[in-house]
Structure 1
């Protein structure tokens, strides 16, 4: 699979999640391959591509394709990080969406962190694609641009909707239909 195809799956899942804390999901960048690992390659590529999620607090989290050969598998914390930790929070949410949707394009996924980062929180997702390719999506975030992040879980009763299970099937069926 190519980076754009992996990002398509993630974007569709985030949109289908209808999470009340997510005010927008948008794509950015024009890269066709993951970013990294060296400066010369990055300059030749020209940009980084990913999915940007903007939250009700005006903070954002950016999940993008990376090459980070030393990413370390991380076990999901028992509790979702607070809203002030948007990057690991988004990564865990995307992993939950993948667990519900079980996209046939992906064979498996694993939460990861950078080797020099906090070892108890995920900052990325390693994805083994069904076609044998591997993709790494890493996340970074910005704080609230106006005001501050909520100190407590803003939507404790949120449940992933049934539409997450079928949102990818609609795309697959559309692609398979004769033109």
Structure 2
């Protein structure tokens, strides 16, 4: 098959010159061939054992088994005395603690109206004033995320307001216990 090139060229008589024929190669077909198979590590290990390199191969296999067992026994955590304990591995983040929703009644309803879902708060428990003196206030939840702020009841302003916090299960139990025995307050983080 020939095509006549109509573009202008400064070199007449060469391919690409006006009026010179340009040949186009015929389409080629890829012949069928066997699939390529990649050898794995097992044939290499067997081959090394057959060639008499048993000692290094056995030592490497024992070392790999010992490391695997040591990692399984410690659960992947370094021991307190090891050098790895001082550094935090970026490849393994700390496992996430499952969160639960804990409804908490806060003593000051006006403070709860300032909260929005997504805010972080510290919950403080203050025991009721004792006749002989005042009790010590303590932080019962630190950095709790506000999940929801339900609408307040219009007639119960003196009873405080409800807020739903996302906290770990153990912290939720502490919050509920503190809510029964103490007045709760929040500070926005």
**TM superposition score category, shorter chain reference:** under 0.3
Q: TM-score, normalised by structure 1?
A: 0.18
Q: Which has the larger radius of gyration?
A: 2
TM-score (norm 2): 0.18
Q: Which has the higher contact order (CA 8 A, sep 6+)?
A: 1
